[in-house]
Amino acid sequence: MDSQQLNQGLRQAFFKESHRIVFWYDPEQGFTDELGQLHLPGVQVLNMQGLSTFGTKLKLELEDTEGKYLLYFPCAEPDANDDWLLDIKLYSRSFYADKVSLIFNDLGLHQQVLREHLASRERFLSSKARLASLKRLIQPTDTEHELDLAMIAVALCASGSDVMTLLCTLADGAVRDDLGLEQNPAVIDELYKFGLMPALLQALREEVGYQASIEEVSDDKPFSFGYFLIRLLATEFCESIGDIPSWASAIAIPSANARATSRALLSRWRDSSRFYQAYDEISGWVGEALHITQKIGEISLESLANVATFEAVERQIIVDLTKAIPEADPRDLGLFSKIISERLDNYWATRHKDDETRRKFRLLYTALSAAIDLFTQRHQHAAGFHFASTEALYKAYESELYRFDTAYRHYFASSQRAHVELLKKLDEAVEQCYAYWYLDQLGRSWGDRVEAEQRLERWKIPGVPNQQNFYERWVAPLLEGHRSKRVVVIISDAFRYEAAVELCQRINEKRYSKASLNSQLGVLPSYTTLGMASLLPHQTLEYREGSDGVFVDGLNTGNTIARDKALALHGGMAVTALQVKEWSRDAGREALKDQQLVYVYHNVIDDRSDKGGGSEVDTFHHVEFAIEELTELTRKILMHFNTSTVLITADHGFLFQQSKLEAADRTSLVEKPDSAIKSKKRYVIGHTLPAAKDVWQGSTKQTAGTTSDTQFWIPKGANRFHFVGGARFVHGGAMPQEIVVPVLTVNQLRGEKAEKRTKRKVGVISPKSALKMVTNIQRFDLIQTESVSEQVLPITVAVAIYEGGQPVSSEEVVTFNCATDSMSERLKQVRLSLSGSDFDRQKDYFLIIRDKDLNTELERYRVTIDLAFTDDFF
């Protein structure tokens, strides 16, 4: 040891650790010559050879009680009974200059008994790199066991020495090297070589109740990391289902502490952003080793709903739900919705980890939720749709029956994206419910009322404005007396009412705007040329001989350029949505600076779904894209282009079904009539048409207010004509999906109105201010403080028990999104498992509720942990 090392060690004792007196015994007398080279400012160095011990005692205790002294003894330390300075030594520091002592000093350790322990770890400490890493992980007050765990962390290149970090690091290495369960990571051999394996096994025993065999401590039969993982995951699985199947009886770790701790430890592992992908791989290995897929088939859905251990369980839950949903009663459908809500907060489908696996399961659960909505609607209307009038049925569609179409759309949009065989049977059941029950029942009931009331001859419904009156009813009142006010009308081709409900909700989630939804009775036939013309300001609508176009005040309106000319007569202009999307803020303001009325033509759904070549099968994806585009388009117009009001409407809606139509779904029509000017799957239009059986025949004079008496045929209900081309996506007829045309009014909010729409998340509290935990696994009640609304948003919280800043339990994630005032529906339970068994009922522990997305603390409650001794598994 050179003088620099001596000075460094002694300075630490005097100046870093603030000792006044340091004893240095040197029986080999190897450092007598070094005393003069010490540089210890303010410290008196006394060579005790020849000095009176008693005199020194008097000096230190009576004469100079403030000074710093180094007492160097060139001899061995005396026995306690013969040591005159023993009482001083008790509050002072001893310094040693051998190799182990140098390491002891360098590590800054306080407990002298560790010097002997360090000597037994000389092989590990021989590396300067390992020593430097160890120094970063230890505390001066560490015990032998804590020191060994820190050495294990260094060997593993782990970031911490807690058991979870050590196991996760081991597992991560095994996955990285693709070792499987039968090969140990190479570092296990190093732990045996350094004598550290007993410390790891002790930690596993204390944390998860793992009882190592005598052989595992020695080199004869090394510890099998793979077998330990099998036991750990099997224990959590058994705890989660509340039973130990016979196949797991020899594997599950048999103690109450083990089942709680395994769940807590694995919960924290799964929550780790660094190590969760290693968990995915490990759990797959263990699941295969246990043949878990074959073993979970007989376990009930309710029991499996508590399990997060294996991905195979997630698949089994989805399989069980797909089988059960079509035949379930309303009560079971409610239970299934609750299970799905909990699974979406669970590990394999959580939105807080965005990878292919989680996205796949979220899609599947979205599909299942939509199927539940669909079959719930069917239960509510099991007797069919029996309404006294077209007005009543129209209003029913506007208020609730559209939900069938939304659920069907959401189901197949998710099912198609997931693209898995798991949903094949449910696909068929959903199609049967929607296409061959709902559309059939709705078409029959609506058709009966239309015919009974001769509604095609008087195409009006009390309280519902007609589409051809759109400008007078919705636009003109906004412009009257407001020369400086600009109104923008967005017309989205084939944007039907049920999609507008969703768009309205999306817009109302924003702080800057407020949307309200109404409807208007669409023109017949419900197709683009007539629908677009009817929305323009006009005195006359008409068809003319030799043209299939519709003329507005004498002008053809077949495209955006033609409509721009028609609007110019009323001080307005027409642009496409694509143009608006491409405008910068300045370019858009310049283009619109003199314009009070602007029509924006948006064409996504009709354009993409009616192209042929199989495009119609993606109709629902096109609807989703349209909703996203319209949300952004509306925001841009309101925020960037000095516009306070936007109206969003459509020319018509559409019918769509996923399955190919059968002969029974087609209206028999031998050939197109010679006088037809346009013939499609849902309509035939001509200046004159002959009488035909099994169709509805009418005149646009009654159904669209044209001055020309132009004739049309449309098939009854949801049927299609026998013409060539796609038949899944159609429009032109009189079904509610086609003629209940949305009118969405969106107003920009500023100042106080915008402030009132400031959104906040719902609160979550415990109904009890002080909590007590008497078992390793316990449920706690949490209550949502108010109902979710437009201004009060759902919240996802993470809940765990902490000692100081360290979690001592599993972390459970739960979403609170109840929109009712029912306290029972607002209450949810979290099931927390303690990690370890060393809890003091006199200590302060806290149940902490955190916002999972923001990672901010919301509430904390003191928890008393008072565990009764138990060693039973269940």
Q: What is the average per-residue pLDDT within 475-482?
A: 87
Residue type at 800 in one-letter notation: A
Distance of CA 405 to the CA centre of its chain: 26
Sequence-distant (6+) residues with CB within 8 A of 560 are 574, 575, 576, 601
Distance CA 204, CA 120 (A): 22
For 373-400, write each residue's pLDDT tens digit: 999 999 999 999 999 999 999 999 999 9
Which is more confident, 674 or 804? 804
Q: Given a cut of 80, is residue 368 above it in pLDDT?
A: yes
For 299-342, write each residue's pLDDT tens digit: 999 999 999 999 999 999 999 999 999 999 999 999 999 999 99
**pLDDT band at residue 764 under the 50/70/90 scheme:** very high
Q: Closest by alpha carbon to 834, among 868, 813, 811, 809?
A: 809
**pLDDT band at residue 47 under the 50/70/90 scheme:** very high
Task: Look at residue 659 in the predicted model and tell me its pLDDT.
Answer: 86
Q: Given a cut of 90, is residue 874 above it in pLDDT?
A: no
Residue 79 DSSP one-character state = P
Number of CB atoms found within 10 A of residue 66's CB: 5
* Bond preceding residue 78 cis, omega within 30 of 0: no
For 721-736, what is the HEC assignment? ECCCCCCCEECCCCCH
Task: Look at residue 711 in the predicted model and tell me its pLDDT.
Answer: 95
Q: Does residue 171 contact residue 278 with C-beta atoms inside 8 Å?
A: yes
Gyration radius of the chain's alpha carbons: 39
Which helix (H) or strand (E) covers residue 278, if one does?
Answer: helix 276-289
Distance CA 195, CA 197 (A): 6
SS3 379: helix
For 630-648, write each residue's pLDDT tens digit: 999 999 999 999 898 999 9
Q: Given a cut of 90, is residue 214 above it in pLDDT?
A: no
DSSP-H helix ranges across 108-252? 114-120, 122-125, 128-137, 144-156, 163-176, 187-193, 197-208, 214-217, 225-241
Helices and strands of the chain, counted as H and E runs: 37, 32
Which helix (H) or strand (E) covers residue 396, if one does?
Answer: helix 390-396
DSSP-H helix ranges across 788-870? 823-826
Q: What is the pTM of this model?
A: 0.86
Q: What is the largest CA-CA distance in the chain?
A: 135
Q: Given a cut of 60, is residue 870 above it in pLDDT?
A: no
Percent above pLDDT 70 for the chain? 95
For 593-611, write each residue's pLDDT tens digit: 889 999 999 999 999 998 7
| Domains and their CATH numbers in the chain | 1-97 (no CATH), 138-295 (no CATH), 296-452 (no CATH), 462-654+729-750 (3.40.720), 760-865 (2.60.40.2030)
B/e letters for 234-258, b = 16+ CB within 10 Å, e = fewer, are: bbbbbbbbeebbeebeebbbbbbbb
For 105-121, write each residue's pLDDT tens digit: 778 787 777 878 888 88
**Mean pLDDT, the chain, whole residue set:** 91
Residue type at 175 in one-letter notation: V
Task: Look at residue 410 in the predicted model and tell me its pLDDT.
Answer: 98
Which is more confident, 824 or 474? 474
Which residues lie across from 502 on neighbouring strands? Answer: none
Q: What is the average per-residue pLDDT within 800-829?
A: 93
Q: Given a cut of 60, is residue 872 above it in pLDDT?
A: no
SS3 626: helix
Distance CA 636, CA 596 (A): 17
Task: Look at residue 23 in the predicted model and tell me its pLDDT.
Answer: 92
Which is more confident, 754 or 721? 721
For 845-868, write each residue's pLDDT tens digit: 999 999 999 999 999 999 999 987
Task: Look at residue 691 in the predicted model and tell me its pLDDT.
Answer: 87
Q: Given a cut of 70, is residue 751 above it in pLDDT?
A: no
Distance CA 776, CA 786 (A): 31
Task: Look at residue 208 in the predicted model and tell me its pLDDT.
Answer: 85
Q: 188 to each of 121, 198, 219, 510, how far by Cα in Å?
A: 16, 11, 11, 55
**pLDDT band at residue 810 under the 50/70/90 scheme:** very high
B/e letters for 362-385, b = 16+ CB within 10 Å, e = fewer, are: bbbbbbbbbbbbbbbbbeebeeeb
Task: Look at residue 652 in the predicted model and tell me its pLDDT.
Answer: 98
For 139-159, write each residue's pLDDT tens digit: 888 899 999 999 999 999 999
